[in-house]
Structure 1
Amino acid sequence: MTAEIPVATERDVLITRVFAAPREVVWRFFTQSPRIAEWFGPTGVHVDPASVHVDLRLGGRWELDMIVDEDCKHSPIAGVITALDPPEHLEIRMRARPDPGMELDDIVLRLWFHDHGDRTRLTLHQGPFEPGFRDRTADGWELSFGKIDALVAR
């Protein structure tokens, strides 16, 4: 059974986005290593494909390393899959190092993939964050989702 979407607080990111692709296609963008490397990260950031590891099972790992194009600063993300109901729901408990000396721990990313035929409505809930970092994270997701839109359009 798919988990319910929790109530978002001022410390959470909550985004709903529609992609012009079937649910199984959008699901693969989040669960297949080569696909994740194609889009993850805001503009000006790329992901080293060799750093992406997805073990798609409960307790499996979900990891990547974002690299800022301008200064090659690394921002690793390491997660464990805590809920899985393909292709409807994915939950990852993660820790990240977005900036030198800054560690985010126990951040939960929850994704729901809603089937609308040739379109998919994605609901993303992530947190908790400090308010300033929450806004930065939300902006990063929106820019990243633009990359998915471009890939789907091709």
Structure 2
Amino acid sequence: MTETRPSGIADTDTYITRMFAAPRAVVFDFWLQPARLAEWWGPVGYSAPAEHIVMEGAVGGRFQVCMIEEATGVEIWTYGEVLEFVEPELIAFQLSVKRPVDEEPITMQLRVQFHDHGERTRITLHQGPFAATEMERGNNIGWSMSFDKLDAAIAGIRP
């Protein structure tokens, strides 16, 4: 599901909306609990072991995740701080991503809103700023694949 971009969000930023078949508290929990994050974080071909995930659900809290490319074992570390936290409505982070191909970490913000639609939840995700070359690396595709994995993880816990 894609919405019209609100004004002020650059074309090179990632802006995605997606509906999930679970109540907001359930979807929010998949972002808050390391074991749940490990079930879906990262695009197809990547894993994020729970032992490398830290998610402190409070303003000023620490966030850390390591995605591992399954074919090569290459690690991509993300470190961050929680800037905003309103359970179960909003999580915003300041992130630093260190990929092996980059000499310097890429810094950006990630803001995720959880919209209550009864037995369904709509996530609105905004990540950036990015340079145009960074967007070419497939950030939108990566989030889409991650959200496909999140859909599957949610389905696994539903009756």
Query: Per-residue deviation at 1:91?
Result: 0.3
Map of 1:1-154 to 2, 5 A cutoff?
Answer: 7-135=8-136, 136-154=138-156
TM-score (norm 2): 0.89
* Residue type of the alignment partner of 1:149: D
Q: Distance in 1 between matches of 2:105 and 2:124?
A: 22
1:106 Cα deviation from its structure 2 partner: 3.0
Aligned residues: 150
Bigger strand share? 1
Unaligned runs of 5+ in 2: 1-5
Moved more, 105-114 or 72-81: 105-114
Taking a change above 3 Å as real, the CA distance of residues 6 and 54 of structure 1, as seen in their structure-2 partners, is farther
Secondary structure of 1:67's aligned partner:
strand
Cα shift at 1:153: 1.8
Task: Return the TM-score normalized by structure 1.
Answer: 0.92
Task: Flag the 1:18–1:102 CA change in 2: closer, same or farther, 3 A.
Answer: farther
Q: Once superposed, what is the RMSD of the aligned Cα atoms?
A: 1.4
* Displacement of 1:104: 3.6
Name the CA distance, whole Å, in 2 between partners of 1:125 and 1:148. 17
| Secondary structure, counterpart of 1:21 in structure 2 | coil
Checking the alignment, whether the CA contact within 8 Å between 1:95 and 1:103 is kept in structure 2 is no
- Segments of 5+ residues of structure 1 without an aligned counterpart are none
Look up the SS of the partner of 1:103 in the other structure.
Answer: coil
In the TM superposition, residue 130 of structure 1 has moved relative to its aligned partner by 1.7
